[in-house]
Each structure stands twice: as C-alpha cells, then as structure tokens.
C-alpha cells in the first residue's frame, strides 16, 4: 500500500539585473541612456534623454575601468543637483502629428 510520491515545488530564483535605462532628472521619464567610451586611463560618458533632449558629455578621469553605467548615473545625478553638470538640450526628432 504505497502512496503517490510528492512532487517537489520548483522555486524560481529571480535574477536582479543592472538597469540600462534610467530616470531623467529634468523630465522624470525613464528614457535616460548612458554610453561610456574608454580611452586609456580616461573615460568619457555620454548621457542622453530620448524625451526632453538632455545631453551631457562628461569626462571622468577618476572613474575606474570597472564602473558601469549605473555608477556614472549616480555621479551625474549628484552633479546635476549641485548645478555642476554641463547640460544642453537638443530639439527632439519626433514630430507631434
């Protein structure tokens, strides 16, 4: 008189990934993208918003090669709130029809 064997529940592990798109401090939309270009010991970060046209080119000499876009985003937010970021705006390429 055997019983049926119980099935084990499979517990799915949630993988937390680093975001690639961030929230813009100017327009509050999640459309801010960061591209890091590394040359030697210097790194240049290009920060662009697809909604409001915010563009910032920052030259970070103190960022190590291991830095990710999320680390550059944190530095950019600090600079933006202090008023030290060199932000310019370009007109958006989308037309309102």
Identify whether 11 is part of a domain: no
Identify whether 37 is part of a domain: yes
| Each residue's pLDDT tens digit, 57-71 | 877 666 676 778 888
The answer to whether 32 and 48 are in contact (CB under 8 A) is: yes
Identify whether 55 is part of a domain: yes
Identify whether 41 is part of a domain: yes
Identify whether 47 is part of a domain: yes
Q: What is the domain range of residue 29?
A: 21-89
| Each residue's pLDDT tens digit, 26-56 | 999 999 999 988 777 777 888 999 989 899 9
Q: What domain count does the chain have?
A: 1
Identify whether 12 is part of a domain: no
């Amino acid at each position: 008189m055997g019983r049926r064997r119980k099935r084990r529940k499979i517990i799915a592990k949630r993988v937390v990934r680093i975001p690639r798109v961030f929230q813009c401090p100017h327009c509050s939309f999640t459309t801010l993208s960061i591209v890091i270009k590394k040359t030697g010991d210097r790194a240049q970060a290009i920060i662009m918003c697809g909604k409001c046209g915010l563009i910032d080119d920052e030259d970070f000499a103190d960022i190590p090669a291991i830095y990710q876009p999320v680390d550059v985003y944190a530095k950019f937010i600090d600079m933006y709130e202090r008023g030290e970021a060199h932000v310019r705006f370009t007109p958006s390429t989308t037309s309102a029809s």
